[in-house]
Amino acid sequence: MTRQGFSRQEFLDALKAGLDGLPPAEIEDVLRDYAAYFTDAQEAGRSEDSVVQMLGDPIQLARALKAESGLRQLQARPSPSTILGAIAALTGLAMLDLFVLLPVLSILLVVFLALGLVALALALGGSAIVLHSAFMWDGAPLLAHLGQALVGFGFIALAVCLSCLFLLGLNAGLRAMAAHARRYTRLLTSSPRSGAAS
């Protein structure tokens, strides 16, 4: 069945199936908005077919709405589970762009993995240096042990800074993917929910 072959009810049913996994209240809200959009367009003299063509593929639209929902949850309650949910939703949305995004995402993944490993190594090394300077008195002057401890604390502070850079980069990446998703699906211009979101 092509996009032009969808009736209003088939479009809404496909949209509902694509939104599976969202809270039921949010699904009903989305369906109500799109049903009202069809009603308003028909009252203005437009056909169902023209509305379906303007809205696009309901499955792709559902992916975009799920991605936006995941990003709203991430902004409201940042946690590892909401980060993973947003990444999963955006990845599902970007499946068509996989060949374009795969090289970029691969490079970013390697950079973030290296950043994480360096931060972990610095934290472990700094902790080992601090513990060594605190508990292993080898006859060196107190000032030498204090210097070692400060170097260890410096490594730990650097690890914390790298971890913060990692989180900032992850946040920026998610925002960039969300902006791409919005552009890709034309939600800002063709969705009845876009007026409510702005």
Q: What is the 3-state secondary structure (H, E, C) of 52-109?
A: HHHHCCHHHHHHHHHHHHHHHHHHHCCCHHHHHHHHHHHHHHHHHHHHHHHHHHHHHH
| pLDDT, greater one: 80 or 93 | 80
The pLDDT confidence band at residue 5, using thresholds 50, 70 and 90, is low
Determine the structural domain holding residue 147 and report its residue range: 97-185
Same domain flag for 83 and 106: no
Q: How far apart are the first and last CA of the chain?
A: 33
Same domain flag for 180 and 190: no
User: At residue 10, does pLDDT exceed 50?
Assistant: yes
Q: Which residues contact 101 (CB under 8 A, 6 or more apart)?
A: 94
Domain count, the chain: 2
| pLDDT, greater one: 52 or 84 | 52
Same domain flag for 23 and 90: yes
Same domain flag for 104 and 160: yes
- Predicted local distance difference test score (pLDDT) of residue 55: 80
Same domain flag for 107 and 181: yes
- What DSSP state is assigned to residue 22? B
Phi, psi angle pair for 20, to nearest 5°: -55, 130
- CB atoms under 10 Å from CB of 5, counted, come to 9
User: At residue 2, does pLDDT exceed 70?
Assistant: no
Same domain flag for 86 and 124: no
- Predicted local distance difference test score (pLDDT) of residue 158: 93
Query: How confident is the model over 35-50, as pLDDT tens digits?
Result: 888 888 888 888 888 8
Which of 33-37, 51-55, 76-80 is predicted most confidently?
33-37
Same domain flag for 143 and 164: yes
Query: How confident is the model over 102-152, as pLDDT tens digits?
Result: 777 788 888 888 988 999 999 999 999 999 888 887 777 888 888 888 999
Same domain flag for 9 and 69: yes
Same domain flag for 9 and 87: yes
Q: Are 157 and 119 in contact (CB under 8 A)?
A: no
